[in-house]
Structures are given as structure tokens and as C-alpha cells.
Structure 1
């Protein structure tokens, strides 16, 4: 039976919340892409990581319904778990580092999947939003304190696979940072925190707190 870890990625300052991530440490035992996709759907996380080479940082990322060339919170979580200087994903080489309580990745904005960045007038408007119908992936955001770079955000995948709202979304934060071209402190979901900073040549750093929730058999 393959073991998998459950991490909370982008936890708040109190260590709570964060987006749950499944990590299958011995991904090489499930080489078939269809089997990986089915396991990801069975586990039910917004994303599941399969570690193909823990020493080199080679990982494969799946949402419940599709394979992803790159995703933010899976890379931040895998970087923390594997403690390697880089991760290798289909989109490219992701820089990785640990800095005190934060795990950081550096990725190119073009690697992030498309998201609709929708600005609202206030954090209260974002808080009051209902879950939109299935369709486009919407990252709703508003300034909490523009001078300080503080943002309130919510992420609505619109995928139809049972994930109606993402608690914390690194790829969308990366896109928003590239769009605004400034460092951000993002409060997303119920209490998650994402920190970002633009880097040269279209790269963006995304960081957050990670904690291990559990290790369980996958049933396969």
C-alpha cells in the first residue's frame, strides 16, 4: 500500500487553515498517468503530488480531474517536505528554499494556469461573494491596505470536480503579483496567508507556512 502525507500549505500566523495537499512519497510505484489521476480524484484534495525522485525534487501534480504542469501550493508543500533547492515539474525548474517558518518557491508567471483576476471595491465585498457557477477559474480580490500591499482574496476553481473554493492558491497569487508588479501579503479563504514578491525576468516568489497533518495508507 502506498503511503501519502497530508499537508496544510499557506497556514495562517496561528498555524491554522491552509490548503490541504496530498503527497504520495513513492510516486514511482504508480507510474501510469490514469492511475495517478484516479487516485487524486479518490483522495479528493484540490491537488495531489506524486514524488518521482525525492533527491532531485522531481514531482508530478494532479487535480482530481487533470494533470497540472505547475501549481503553487503543491510546489510550496513539496519544497517544505523534501527540503531540496529546486523542484522539477513539467513546466520547468522551480527554485525552492526554506526561510525560518516559511517555505518559498520561485516560478515564472507564464507557468501558472489561466485565472480570471477579478478586483472588488472592498474586502467585505469579497467576503460576501457566493460560489459562482461552474466555468472560469476566478480569483476574487480586493485591497485591505494598498499602501502595505495587503490583499483579501478568494479562489473559485469552477471545475465541477467537487472543489468549489480553494482555501489558498499559489498560482493565482503568482499571477496577481505579476499583474500588480509588487510584493503582496494575501489573506485568502478562511484564514490562510500567502506572501509574494516579484523577481527579475518574469519570475515571482511565493511563500507560506506548511505543517504536516497526517500520514495515511492510500488503499492502492
Structure 2
């Protein structure tokens, strides 16, 4: 980041950390989440730089490390709303300048960023891969997924649900990716992703775990980046 260090939280010896009072109708967990948002330097940076969410910096960092987003590519962003990853992808592949293409898919409506085509669609529908390839007029080069299943509060259950969602996203990716393509998805540390990783290693040449700095330090989230898709099997 440029300028002064936003993570110090101090100026002239006085703490600048924002504290939020608990409103009568707001739960403690909601209050803590709001306080964390207000004090998150990536949230402030996203507002300042015009990104739809702080998640944009996770994708920026991962791509700066591994360079899997290239000009002219066709990218699919699953669970795209509110659009932070789609924004980054559009810039990286040149879709905001009429070169590559980025299609965002979500059950929620969103205003697509410049260079992004948006479709309200459930990617789990049986005909979703075929419809996507028709929109793209071919196969995709990259499939992105920053999706997370709704939390239940039970750690083991939440982990299993997230891994299940990533497995479904991987199924979709393997249906629509061109040979040599890449798949990036959010997972959660916990050990039950062994089968998923083994499957990805069969389907892709290289599989990596990535923990970007923009992921909160207290978060168990990781990203799995699979590159060099071996090609769809009959």
C-alpha cells in the first residue's frame, strides 16, 4: 500500500481504532463484525480505489504471485456478487478494454463492473455448463470461485459444506475449461479436503494452496489454485 501504514491504528500516539457501540437490536456478533469492517485497512482501500469488495485484493495478490490471468482470456466468476473478483479479472485479461471476456454468475442480481457480463444463474443446474459455453462461444480459460456456504456456527459442519461447494465448483470447472486452463477456489483449513486435492491433482498439472495477506489473520480460509487443466474426459 502507498502512503502511511493503515495497520498501525495510531497517529500522534493516539489510537484511531473505531469502536462500535452495541445497539439494542444488534447482536454482539454483528457488532464485532461491523467493528472489524470499520477497522479493516483493505475495506478502506477498496472504497478508496473503487473496488466492490476487499476480496479484490486477494485475487490481485494471488495473480501477482502466479500470473495465471493473462490478456485475452475468457474467465468465469462463480458467485460473482458483489463483483470484486470480476473487476480484477476484467482488468487483468483486458475485458474492460474489449479484449478478453469475463462472465460473472450468481443467484443474486448485481450491477456488472465495466467489461463484465453478468448472468443470474444457478451453476448447479444440469444445463449450466452448456449455457455458459454458448455464451462464451467456446470454453473458458479460467474459472474463479470465492463462494462460501452459509455458516451454521458448527465448525465441522461449516467446513464440510464449504468443501462440498468447492467440489461442485470443480465439477463445473472441469466441464467448461479448455485444456491448459486454471481453477481458483476458496477452501477452509481442516483436513477433509484430501479427496478434493487428490482429484484436482489428477485433473490439473499443478495444485497449490495459497494464503493471501488480504485474508484476515484470524480466518481459516485458504485458496486452492489448480493450473494446467489436462482436458475434459469423455
TM-score range, shorter chain: under 0.3
Question: What TM-score does the superposition give when structure 2 sets the normalisation length?
Answer: 0.25
Considering fraction of residues, name the structure with more helix. Answer: 2
